[in-house]
A and B are shown apart, each in its own frame.
Chain A
C-alpha cells in the first residue's frame, strides 16, 4: 500500500453519553443509550487495526469519554501500540485548568477579557446593560479580579452619563448584581462592586424573573396602554409557595447604599418572601428599602433588570 494514501487519524467516538447538554454540541441527542456503544473488546481490536493501517493520531472522544469504565484500558492499549510504557492506573488527566494553575492560553483569555471590558464600558450600542454574577462564592483570586474589573467597567459607563433628563433622576441605576447562596467574606474589596446582592437559589430567581416578565407582558396587553413597561411587576401566587419550599432558604435582596439611590442612608436586608400582598402580586418596590419606596417604583419602570438585555455578562464558575 502506498504509504501516502492511508488514514493518519482515528477519531474514536467512544460514547454519546454526556453529563452536559450544550446547545451547540453536535453530539446526537438520542444516542445516549448505553447498549449502542461498541464494547471494550471491539475497541481493542479497532486500535490494533488502526496501528496496522499506520494511524499516527488517536482521538478518544464522544460524548464524554470519561464516562466509559474502560477508558483507562483503551488508553493503555493505545500507548502500548505506540510502544510507550503504560501509565499508572488512575493517571488520566483531562485537559482542565484547576484553580490557581496557569491557563495555557492565559494570553488569549486576557485579550478576550480586555476586549469585553472595553465593550462593557461602552455607553451606547453594544455596551453591557448589566453585570450579573451567578453561581460563584467569589473565593478564587482570578475570578474576584475579573468580577471587580467588569463591575468597575460597567460603572464607569454610568458615571459618564450623569447629565440626563430629570425624569430619570430618581432611577436606581442597577449596573451589577450578585446572585448566589453563599456570599463572599464581607471585606473592603467588595465595597461598591455590586449594586444589588441577592441571596438565594439562582434557578428560583430566574423563574421568578421569568414569571415577572410574563406577567408584565400580560398586564401590558390587557391594559392596552401605550406604556412600554407597566408600573407593577408581579409574580403569580401559584408558583410561589413551591418556589419558596424548593429554595429552602429565604431569598434576600440587599441593596448596598454606596451605589444605590443617593437617598439611601443604610444597608437594608429585605426578605422577598414577605413582599407578597394579599393579591399575590409582588411589587418590586417592596423589596426596596422603606426610604426608597418611591424610587423603587421608578426602578420598576427603568431598571435595566427588567429591560430586554443585550450582552449582559454572566459569569459561571466554581
Chain B
C-alpha cells in the first residue's frame, strides 16, 4: 500500500527507458512494456527509493504550479497505487 510516507522504487525487473524514436519514456519489464505520458514519467523518475511520496509531491508542485497541492497528491497516490498493483513499483515505508 502506497502512502505519503512510502518511499517508492521501481521493482528490480523494471527499467525506465527513453524511447528515442517515440520521444517518450517507457517502462520495460520482462515480455512487456508500458508507455508513460510526461506526467507519469515525471513521477516514475523520482521513484528511486530515496524520496517519500510526500517529497515527490513537493517536487511536482514546483514543476506543475497550476495544479493544487492536494489534487496533485491524490493523483500521485492513485498512479503509484496502480503501479504497485501491477507489481512495477514497491512502496517500502
Spell out A's residues near B (CB within 8 Å). 3-4, 6, 8-9, 54, 56-57, 104
Contacts and interface: CB of A to CB of B under 8 A. Distances in A.
18 contacts: A3-B21, A3-B22, A4-B22, A6-B21, A8-B26, A8-B33, A9-B31, A9-B33, A54-B20, A54-B21, A54-B22, A56-B19, A56-B26, A56-B28, A56-B33, A57-B28, A57-B33, A104-B12
Contacts of A3: 21-22
A4 B35 CA distance: 11
Interface residues of B, number: 10
Q: In this complex, which of B19, B20, B21, B26 has the most chain A Cβ atoms within 10 angstroms of its Cβ?
A: B21
Contacts of A54: 19-22
B17 interface: yes
Q: In this complex, which of A8, A9, A54 has the most chain B Cβ atoms within 10 angstroms of its Cβ?
A: A8
- Main secondary structure on A side of the interface with B: loop
A11 to B, nearest CB: 9
B85 to A, nearest CB: 16
A57 B21 CA distance: 13
B86 to A, nearest CB: 16
Contacts of B19: 54, 56
A56 B17 contact: yes
Contacts of B22: 3-4, 54
Nearest to A11: B31
Given A9-B33, A54-B21, A56-B26, 7 more contacts: A3-B22, A4-B22, A9-B31, A56-B17, A56-B33, A57-B17, A104-B12
A4 B26 CA distance: 13
Contacts of B31: 9
